[in-house]
Amino acid sequence: MSKTIKCEDLKFTIYVEDTDFQGFVYYANYLRFFERARSNFLSNNNLFQKKFIESNAAFIVKEVHIEYFAPAELGDEIIVQSTVEKKSDARMVFSQSVKNLNNNNECAKGLVEVCFINLITKKPQKFPDDLLLIFK
């Protein structure tokens, strides 16, 4: 049976660099916020992507589904909330949401499927034991 883990929430302030010409968060930046939260999950569990790359392994995004509801704006405080579920020994799915702390609106939510691959063969590879232990 797979296990779902609640990840640590990640808070940001929206700056000019995050917005489009209207002052709203540019739609693609929600993916960047999701990525930061996923990277934070790994770092918080002492799993460092640079070390994986040095050993010819890496996480790749296989699939993304995202819905947009209400844009965050310049100066808003947002929070990225995530859970992760192990689907196999080489694949996990993050369920992620961005909420605006200024008005409590949900800005976007998404599902991001991540695979662990061997960088030489480009084939799936079993997660490191340290990551598998998190899901026990």
Catalytic machinery residues: 20
Tell me which amino acid residue 7 is: C
Q: DSSP for the chain?
A: ---EEEPPPEEEE--GGGB-TTSBBPTTHHHHHHHHHHHHHHHHTT--HHHHHHTTEEEEEEEEEEEE-S--BTT-EEEEEEEEEEEETTEEEEEEEEEETTT--EEEEEEEEEEEEETTT-SB-PPPHHHHHHT-
